[in-house]
Amino acid sequence: MNTQTLFQQHITALEHSWGEALQQTMPDCDAILVHSGSSHNYFADDHAPPFKAWGHFLRWAPLDRPDQFVLFVPGHKPRVLALVPRDFWHDQTLTTESWWADCVDITCMENLSELASLLPQVSSLVFLGENRTLAVELGVPAAAINPASLLSWLDYDRAVKTDYEISRLREANAHALSGHAAAEQTFRAGGDEYDIHHAYLAACRVLDQELPYSNIIALNEKAAILHYQNKRRYADRASQPANKVLLIDAGCRAYGYCSDITRTWAADDAHPVFHDLLNGMQTLQATLVGSVKPGVSFADLHRQAHLAIAQLLVDAGICHGDAETLVSNGTSTVYFPHGLGHLLGLQVHDVGGRLANRSGELAPPPDAWPGLRNTRSLDAGAVVTIEPGLYFIPALLETARKSAMAKSINWTLTEALMPFGGIRIEDNVLATVDGADNLTRNAVTGSR
């Protein structure tokens, strides 16, 4: 199916679901104005960080720039109200492509002050977006600015993707894999974190600011830092430590839709037990991906991951005892302290992961794992990441050493493995009607 047909179907689906959401949650209102967001300068400065449009706006129109609006009135073609300032400092050209632009009506404004005249009666308008001041200036009643009932409904529904959205997520995966291949090559050739980062950007032909999140490129012991942000560079190559392990967590965006992929690579001369762990993690991650299907509770999958990681730790001689006990006494959490994954879409950690239903009731995470970002049962069409990890994190090990868990841990082996940091393997997975489609492993590379 061509992109325009896919997008038209996507818009039709949005019109239906947003129409129902509006009628059920704000029955006195008959239109929704969605704002992409405002640009904010740094404090006491005259320039702003790179802008990212809000997900609920991007779902209607791939215009990743500030002060764009979608006006949704049930029964009418969606309208895009686009601010295109007269500006000789920046390029303000509004780039549209017919596959999406033909599905909406576009009106351009030179000034935000024109917005009010383009809107229907504001007393029956809902405003969605970050800029409350703007909504108040427009005259939108307080109760109709980001009403929680409507937002919960829309957030909840966003977990299930349309075919158009799935095609963009596939594209974002294929795109990122070209960068991952270049990153592995640069790691094996002895590049530092800076080199690997730039090899990734060059292979994907993207700028830093176009990434869904800042690349995590961690060599050796830094792989133990979950969201490691530096890119170490060595002017003096002689002082650069040998590359033993690379953990790279990096994605791309396709018209706003994100991929979020992690690979861990080890040099041949890394510790042999680290190689065993890496093989074991690859196998258990594939098993977890294979467990994705509609109706499965993500919290149960997370527990399954803990049991498998605990068993791996026992098999590798890093922990003593049985897997059940290592999970229940918290030892597995020392090595695997984050959640198994999250919803993925227009945001890397997409919205609605802890909603039990459209009404906004919460599905809280299990007491043992308060950081789990997705506590829902999977619906067909939901896209999640599956990203088990196993790390040697100094701060967590230090605490464990002073606790009752200490006797379950082989400290000599744990210390020997600390210089290798850790492992994370992350794929993006679609729950299909009867199973799983691994969007990362099944991505058609070379299609760009």
x/- contact string, 403-422, with ligand GLY (CB under 6 A)?
Answer: --------------------
Is the separation of the CB atoms in 97 and 113 below 8 Å?
no
x/- contact string, 334-373, with ligand GLY (CB under 6 A)?
Answer: --------------x-------------------------
x/- contact string, 298-337, with ligand GLY (CB under 6 A)?
Answer: ----------------------------------------
Pick between residue 147 and residue 179 the one whose CB is nearest to ligand GLY.
179
The minimum distance between CB 44 and Mn ion, in angstroms, equals: 34
The minimum distance between CB 121 and ligand GLY, in angstroms, equals: 42
Q: Distance between CA 90 and CA 50 in Å, rounded?
A: 13
Six-digit token string for 335: 């090595």
Q: Distance between CA 284 and CA 301 in Å, rounded?
A: 12
The minimum distance between CB 216 and Mn ion, in angstroms, equals: 7
Q: Which of 15, 67, 165, 249 binds ligand GLY (CB under 6 A)?
A: 249
The minimum distance between CB 229 and ligand GLY, in angstroms, equals: 11
Q: Which of 165, 260, 350, 427 binds ligand GLY (CB under 6 A)?
A: 260
The minimum distance between CB 369 and ligand GLY, in angstroms, equals: 15
Tokens 């850790």 map to which residue?
A: 422
Q: What is the β-pairing status of strands 422-424 and 389-391?
A: antiparallel
Q: Which of 194, 213, 232, 273 binds ligand GLY (CB under 6 A)?
A: 213
Q: Which partner, ligand GLY, Mn ion, none, binds residue 165 by CB below 5 to 8 Å per kind? A: none
The minimum distance between CB 183 and ligand GLY, in angstroms, equals: 14
Q: Which of 165, 387, 388, 427 binds ligand GLY (CB under 6 A)?
A: 387
The minimum distance between CB 176 and ligand GLY, in angstroms, equals: 11
Residues at the contact surface with Mn ion, assessed by CB under 5 A: 249, 260, 262, 385, 426
Pick between residue 69 and residue 336 the one whose CB is nearest to ligand GLY.
336
Q: Which partner, Mn ion, ligand GLY, none, binds residue 332 by CB below 5 to 8 Å per kind? A: none
Q: Which partner, ligand GLY, Mn ion, none, binds residue 171 by CB below 5 to 8 Å per kind? A: none
**Quick one: three-class SS letters along the chain?**
CCHHHHHHHHHHHHHHHHHHHHHHHCCCCCEEEEECCCCCCCCCCCCCCCCCCCHHHHCCCCCCCCCEEEEECCCCCCEEEEECCCCCCCCCCCCCCHHHHCCCEEEEECCHHHCHHHCCCHHHEEEECCCHHHHHHHCCCHHHECCHHHHHHHHHHCCECCHHHHHHHHHHHHHHHHHHHHHHHHHHCCCCHHHHHHHHHHHHCCCHHHCCCCCEEEEHHHHHCCCCCCCCCCCCHHHCCCCCEEEEEECCEECCEECCEEEEEECCCCCHHHHHHHHHHHHHHHHHHHCCCCCCEHHHHHHHHHHHHHHHHHHCCCECCCHHHHHHCCHHHHHCCCCCCCECCCCCCCCCCCECCCCCCECCCCCCCCCCCCCCECCCCEEEEECCEEECCHHHHHHHHCCHHHHHECHHHHHHHHHHCEEECEEEEEECCCCEEECCCCCCCCCC
Q: Binding residues for ligand GLY, how many (CB under 6 A)? A: 6
Pick between residue 155 and residue 249 the one whose CB is nearest to Mn ion.
249
Six-digit token string for 114: 């024109």
Pick between residue 195 and residue 249 the one whose CB is nearest to ligand GLY.
249
Q: Which partner, ligand GLY, Mn ion, none, binds residue 99 by CB below 5 to 8 Å per kind? A: none
Sort 169 into a burial class: Cβ within 10 Å, 0-12 / 13-18 / 19+.
buried
The minimum distance between CB 61 and Mn ion, in angstroms, equals: 26
Pick between residue 11 and residue 217 the one whose CB is nearest to ligand GLY.
217
- Determine the straight-line distance between the first and last CA of the chain, rounded to whole angstroms: 17
Pick between residue 216 and residue 400 the one whose CB is nearest to ligand GLY.
216
The minimum distance between CB 18 and Mn ion, in angstroms, equals: 27
The minimum distance between CB 231 and Mn ion, in angstroms, equals: 16
Pick between residue 15 and residue 260 the one whose CB is nearest to ligand GLY.
260
Q: Which partner, ligand GLY, Mn ion, none, binds residue 213 by CB below 5 to 8 Å per kind? A: ligand GLY
Residues in contact with ligand GLY by CB under 6 A are 213, 249, 260, 348, 387, 426
